[in-house]
Structure 1
Amino acid sequence: MTSGTPNLAQPELAQPALARARWYVVIVLGLVYALNIADRYVVSTVLEPIRKEFHLSDTGVAWLTGVALAFFYISVGLPIAKVADRANRRNIVAGAMIVWSAMTALLGLTQNYWQFLVARIGVGIGEAGGTPPSTSIIADNFPRGRRAFVLTIYALGLPLGAWLGSTVAGWVVDYFHSWRAAFIALGIPGVIFGILILLTVREPVRGRFEYINESSAPAATFLETCNFLWTQRSAWHINAAGTVICLWGWGLLWWTQTYFEREYGLTTAQAGERLGTIYFWAGSGATIATGLILAHPSMQDPKRAAWMLAVLVTFSTIPSFIAYHTHSLGVATAMLWLVVPTAYLYVGPTMALLLNFLPPSMRAQGMAISLLTANVANLIIAPSIVGWISDALAGRMGNAESLRYALMALSLTGFWAAYHYWTSVRSYTADDARVRNFGKPDATITEP
């Protein structure tokens, strides 16, 4: 999406000190995102040891580790986002990080199912205050034309966090011979980092790069945000695409560690190191390459970004099926090197496309709605459905084979995500005009 007529605030970008401050915010919030993802991936890394210790089925461990977090993430995410659209977002991010990190460390001290469940709920409540205000802060530090690139850099936190939650967590488990040690190792640094955010990050002026400065405008209500989002058909399809990618990519990766342990006899550390290496190098490389592509002037047109994502998801769905269809560890690993990049690189561009179709007073709530649907797909539907199919088939073919068939079925949903990216471009022009004219008296939507 082009930035249009320059805003009077944009010349500030030429000031080196302000430019460094803005990039410092991106780096710090990217690390917040990394620790958020790490705290989520570590559960996947130790899923099988937890299932065995608590004597759970695949469905049962899915409910304990994924669904419990998601229900409370969803419940408090929207109210927190509403506050973030009118209050100090820096304080919300820092406080949320301290809460979810402390709860993550507490998971390492739990001794039974119910203690783990309560601590996992605490993680979900804390994580709900992370991404929506973070992306809103970044959006108010950069003009519209640069947000896809900047948010892609922010999204490097995803592969970094996945590596921390897989490889590093696997090393910790192997060294201490306890899955609980991994939670403590990842939780304590997050509490310290949350305090650092309070001390070093500044709250930006809301709406500083928009056509109308909304720093003093009242935050939109949840219903107003939903109504406006519904009228933005492009944003609706973008959100749907991101949701289905979470169902597809993150849903597959949620179970892949467990699948590798069952199918190929790998230890927690061996599977974690193998997958963490892919997450970090393939995810980081693809995310950086995407950022460089989006930084090119020709990619300022949002339609091209959507087309790029549609093509990548379409062609990545095929190896995602092969990865679980094969009985060869080498082939499965090679296929994941092709799948993981797409499962990660979509985050920054999709966030930027969605934020550009929303006015500043709705961004945190709009992102919270997007995360709500994504986390329902990633933490409720994917773990539960895969677990249910695996349990249903286990009696006839064994735990490893039943999980393989469940993952093959899930892999085909990648085509569904690609469809929404293709469809989103049809209404970009009208939706762009609508958000540019939002709040202007007697504004009418015209073709730019």
Structure 2
Amino acid sequence: MQPILPSVTWRTHSTLVLLALVYVFSFIDRNVIAIVLEPIKQEFGASDTLMGFLSGLAFAILYAGLSLPLSRLADRGGNRRNIIAVCCGLWSIATMACGMAQHFWQLMIARMTVAVGEAGGIAPSISMVSDLYPPHRRSLAISVLMIGPHLGLLAAMVAGGWIAQEYGWRSVFLFFGAPGILLALLLFCFTKDPGHGVYDKNTTLNNEKNKQESFFKQLKGIMKVKGFIWIAMGCALAGMAGYGYGIWVPTFMVRNYDMSLAHAGISFGLAGGIFAAIGTIFSGVFCDKLSKRDSRWQIGLPIIGILISLPMGVAFMLWPADAFWMVGEIKIPHAIVFAALFSFFNCWWPSLSYAAISHLMTSSQRATGAASLNLFLTLFGAGLGPLLTGTLSDVFGEIFAGEGLKYALVATMMLLLVSAWFYYKGLSPYQTRMKQLNNDEVESIDNSVPPTTVNDPLPST
């Protein structure tokens, strides 16, 4: 007897949209500091290295350390909606506190508190979305969720630059922190956790096994999953290049093109945010189609996107600063075309990698699996990417007068080549693991008791 699976309804889609909006503001609150690095640096007299530490490693250490236990709580049957809502409220309040800081150490503490809240955001969200939709629709659903960073980039750069210029950098944090409190309330009041593994055939067995395993035993098991380490290292290196780029490019545009904060924010936000959002949806739809023929496309498309994006990013950095169009009195650099193309292709790897991990894991591993991937991406990417770029900027600044940041960004971007190699090494193990899981599911169905009928796609929790 075949199980009656839950149907996808308007409630499913509305929950996905609300989770995506939460992730939009998560990314804004995490990265809006990029548009105000220069005025913060000038007010507190900090170096590029110290600003790289504030924007990167200070956030990443706490974020990475807390994301695993919070995700473990989600995997052990904790209400994922409640976890996300509480964490969203916390990071939003902490973001507003950044705008109230009067000393650098106060800003550092507030920034680290943002990390504490955001640690319980993305991994439980990915786990929850994976249970909202069946496997053959999962890449697109997670891609919709992963639009968040790109829409967040657009809002943070465009609105953040204008707010900082007109009202000062503190107003940026206050303006973007407040909406997250409302979103937390909406999520708590109007959505439900769909339940763990509602589309999986061996959910009961996996959940019982998960409850019996210690946290470290489960984590060790996740690290041994075929293909996981290769994908995680690919994300780590791509994240170092991506976060270094995302945090420092607005400052690069201010210095290289002599732009105002508002002008740099609008230019980078429109080129990066819009084209990245389009690229994310495109890659999700394309991957769902190709993966039906060969599961390796789940890893192959990130490789293609990374290799195409690399020369686009380098061209953006090295294109002559005096080449631009004039639209009225607004100067638009020719290089912005390459920034748009970089954004379109480089956004393929994050959403497809998280979707790949959701496929590799059982229902009782997904949140912890996503958090483990986040550990690599956060410590290496968000933690070391901005710090490495800032440090190289100080070093190259003594060699290339006034252009240290440009060459620091180019050097950091070369890490994409190493990232592509890691993804390539993961192709075969990923395919092997997918075949193993499919065989296990078939065996589980053959040996299981007929399942209980599921009527409500969003059961009460």
User: Normalized against structure 1, the TM-score is what?
Assistant: 0.91
Question: Quick one: distance in 2 between partners of 1:79 and 1:24?
Answer: 28
8 A Cα contact 2:226 2:432, kept in partner: no
* Aligned residue number for residue 380 of structure 1: 383
Distance change (3 Å), C-alpha of 1:246 and 1:171: same
Q: Offset at 1:114?
A: 1.0
* Aligned residue number for residue 446 of structure 1: none
* Aligned residue number for residue 182 of structure 1: 172
Deviation string for 1:54-103 (max 9, x for gaps)?
A: 10000011112221111111121111111111211110000000000010
Q: Does 1:130 align with 2:101?
A: no
- Mean Cα deviation higher: 417-426 or 98-107: 417-426
Q: Does 1:199 align with 2:189?
A: yes
Q: Offset at 1:280?
A: 2.3
Question: Quick one: distance in 1 between partners of 2:23 and 2:34?
Answer: 17
Question: Quick one: distance in 2 between partners of 1:433 and 1:358?
Answer: 13
Q: Does 1:153 align with 2:144?
A: yes
Distance change (3 Å), C-alpha of 1:49 and 1:94: same
Match of 2:262 among 256, 269, 277: 269
* Aligned residue number for residue 417 of structure 1: 419
Give 3-state SS (helix, strand or coil) of 1:109's partner.
coil
* Aligned residue number for residue 324 of structure 1: 317
Aligned positions of 1:224-373 closer than 5 A = 224-296=217-289, 299=292, 301-328=294-321, 330-373=333-376
Aligned positions of 1:71-150 closer than 5 A = 71-86=61-76, 87-150=78-141
Distance change (3 Å), C-alpha of 1:193 and 1:90: same
8 A Cα contact 1:98 1:191, kept in partner: yes
8 A Cα contact 1:72 1:124, kept in partner: yes
Question: Quick one: distance in 2 between partners of 1:64 and 1:306?
Answer: 33
8 A Cα contact 2:162 2:262, kept in partner: yes
8 A Cα contact 2:34 2:250, kept in partner: yes
* Aligned residue number for residue 65 of structure 1: 55
Q: How many residues align?
A: 430
Distance change (3 Å), C-alpha of 1:7 and 1:199: farther
Question: Quick one: distance in 2 between partners of 1:335 and 1:27?
Answer: 30
- Mean Cα deviation higher: 45-54 or 222-231: 222-231
Q: Which amino acid aligns with 1:96?
A: C
Distance change (3 Å), C-alpha of 1:70 and 1:183: same
- Mean Cα deviation higher: 336-345 or 100-109: 336-345
- Mean Cα deviation higher: 302-311 or 180-189: 302-311
8 A Cα contact 1:42 1:165, kept in partner: yes
Deviation string for 1:308-344 (max 9, x for gaps)?
A: 2211211211121122122326243121111112232
**Unaligned 5+ residue runs, structure 1?**
1-5, 444-448
Distance change (3 Å), C-alpha of 1:275 and 1:103: same
* Aligned residue number for residue 456 of structure 2: none
Distance change (3 Å), C-alpha of 1:298 and 1:134: closer
Q: Offset at 1:122?
A: 0.6
**Unaligned 5+ residue runs, structure 2?**
324-332, 447-461
User: Normalized against structure 2, the TM-score is what?
Assistant: 0.88
8 A Cα contact 1:359 1:438, kept in partner: no
* Aligned residue number for residue 27 of structure 1: 17
Deviation string for 1:16-65 (max 9, x for gaps)?
A: xx521111111111111111111122110111111111100000111122
Percent identity between the aligned chains?
A: 25
Q: Which amino acid aligns with 1:406?
A: A
Question: Quick one: distance in 1 between partners of 2:427 and 2:392?
Answer: 35
Q: Offset at 1:429?
A: 3.6
Q: Could you say what the CA RMSD is over the residues aligned between the two structures, in angstroms? A: 2.1
* Aligned residue number for residue 391 of structure 1: 394
